[in-house]
């Protein structure tokens, strides 16, 4: 029974997280205090939201390198609306950010679907365009805390039942994305297209339309994260979340989302994000520079991709051997 459980990537990653937390606790007592763990989860909440959106894209055999730029642009739009119209309800600004992100994601999806441009090329291009659009909207200036209303900044910082509202947003996204991937036709289409797009066509699934909806979902979640990021840190400018797409991809790959598509779970993406979140919270305590933190994230991605590739290769050899015996 235990052997069967530990064949699952998610179970192994969960054990690795427990071991990591235990090792840190031995070095820094108090790390596992409930208040500190809640703080770590809250710090990781935005990464979790983005990782779940990215998971939908990667499962369908794509990638979104513009997801952090989408966050930045959507958050900036919400902040600028708040500055220009301070009487607008926060809910309106939140919805505006989500819609903005969804539109930007839809642009990626349409370019991949209708023009058949490789996803990595599309999203590299739109990443630059979205960052440039922020510069055009702001003139290169920052939108600072004193320009934003207190109501705008209050939502992600508020606490409900002892847990920050930002964390509650991520928990809600986890539930919704698990339901989408497990219980809906669209979720099954993500797996089918990522596993074998040619076979998916014969089952009546539109590969292009599936890609479009994956990017639409990723964009909407990036828009949500954009408002939460901007409101929490009370600042909007061209370079917010710059390079964060690396962490998002790392969270997915560490969590067992196959970079080749068709394999992985929402829980895996969440665990991958938590693994990175714990590392990033622990490294500053031991005086590791931010540059080394980036190097560590990149190393973890390479190792995780190598492990995934090796697992796939081993499975292929087993099938081959069985076929040989059958002959």
Residue 194 CA to residue 171 CA, distance in Å, equals: 26
Measured between its terminal Cα atoms, the distance across the chain in Å is 33
Q: By three-state DSSP, how is residue 29 classified?
A: coil
What sign has the CA pseudo-torsion 191, 192, 195, 197? negative
Instruction: Give the residue with greater pLDDT, 54 vs 24.
Output: 54
Name the residue among 274, 248, 253 with its Cα closest to residue 264: 253
Residue 214 has pLDDT above 90, yes or no: yes
Mean pLDDT of all residues belonging to the chain: 86
Between the CA of residue 93 and those of 75, 90, 216, 223, 224, what are the distances in Å?
Answer: 9, 5, 19, 11, 10
Which phi and psi (to 5°) does residue 258 adopt?
-65, 125
Residue 276 CA to residue 297 CA, distance in Å, equals: 8
Tens of pLDDT, residues 29-81: 777 888 888 999 999 999 999 999 999 999 999 999 999 999 999 999 999 99
Q: Which residues pair with 143 in a beta bridge?
A: 236
Tens of pLDDT, residues 246-296: 889 989 988 888 888 888 899 999 999 999 888 888 777 766 666 776 677
Enumerate domains of the chain plus CATH numbers: 1-24+32-311 (1.10.3470)
Q: Is 129 exposed, middle or buried (0-12, 13-18, 19+ CB in 10 A)?
A: middle
Residue 176 CA to residue 171 CA, distance in Å, equals: 9
Residue 120, H or E segment: helix 119-138
* Contact yes or no for 227/74 (Cβ under 8 A): yes
Tens of pLDDT, residues 95-122: 999 999 999 999 999 999 999 899 999 9
Predicted local confidence at residue 313, as pLDDT? 54
Residue 25 CA to residue 9 CA, distance in Å, equals: 24
Q: What is the dihedral of CA 315, 316, 321, 322, to 10 degrees?
A: 70
Place of tokens 């029974």: 1
Q: What is the dihedral of CA 261, 266, 272, 278, to 10 degrees?
A: 160
Q: By three-state DSSP, how is residue 160 classified?
A: strand
* Contact yes or no for 144/234 (Cβ under 8 A): yes
**Global model pTM greater than 0.75:** yes
Residue 5 has pLDDT above 70, yes or no: no
* Contact yes or no for 297/276 (Cβ under 8 A): yes
Predicted local confidence at residue 181, as pLDDT? 93
CB atoms within 10 A of CB 87: 7
Band of the pLDDT at 299, cuts 50, 70, 90?
confident
Predicted local confidence at residue 310, as pLDDT? 64
Predicted local confidence at residue 63, as pLDDT? 94
Which phi and psi (to 5°) does residue 236 adopt?
-140, 130
Residue 18 CA to residue 145 CA, distance in Å, equals: 37
């Amino acid at each position: 029974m235990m052997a069967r459980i530990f064949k699952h990537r998610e179970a192994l990653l969960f054990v690795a997280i427990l071991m990591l937390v235990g090792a840190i606790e031995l070095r820094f007592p108090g790390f596992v205090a409930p208040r500190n763990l809640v703080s770590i989860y809250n710090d990781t909440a935005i990464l979790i939201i983005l990782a779940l959106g990215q998971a939908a894209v990667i499962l369908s055999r794509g990638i979104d390198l513009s997801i952090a730029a989408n966050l930045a642009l959507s958050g900036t739009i919400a902040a600028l609306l708040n500055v220009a119209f301070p009487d607008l309800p926060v809910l309106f600004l939140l919805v505006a950010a989500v819609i903005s992100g969804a539109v930007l994601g839809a642009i990626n999806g349409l370019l991949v679907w209708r023009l058949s441009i490789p996803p990595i090329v599309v999203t590299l291009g739109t990443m630059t365009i979205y960052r440039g659009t922020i510069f055009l909207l702001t003139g290169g200036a920052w939108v600072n805390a004193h320009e934003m209303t207190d109501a705008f900044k209050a939502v992600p910082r508020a606490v409900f039942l002892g847990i920050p509202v930002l964390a509650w947003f991520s928990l809600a996204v986890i539930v919704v994305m698990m339901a989408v991937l497990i219980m809906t036709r669209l979720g099954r289409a993500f797996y089918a297209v990522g596993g074998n797009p040619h076979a998916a066509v014969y089952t009546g699934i539109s590969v292009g339309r599936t890609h479009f909806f994956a990017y639409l979902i990723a964009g909407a979640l990036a828009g949500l994260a954009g408002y939460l990021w901007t409101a929490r840190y009370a600042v909007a400018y061209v370079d917010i979340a710059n390079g964060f797409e690396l962490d998002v991809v790392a969270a997915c790959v560490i969590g067992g989302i196959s970079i080749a598509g068709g394999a992985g779970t929402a829980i895996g993406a969440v665990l991958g994000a938590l693994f990175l979140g714990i590392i990033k919270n622990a490294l500053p305590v031991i005086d590791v520079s931010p540059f080394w933190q980036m190097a560590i994230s990149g190393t973890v991605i390479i190792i995780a991709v190598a492990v995934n590739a090796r697992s796939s290769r081993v499975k292929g050899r087993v099938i081959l051997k069985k076929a040989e015996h059958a002959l």
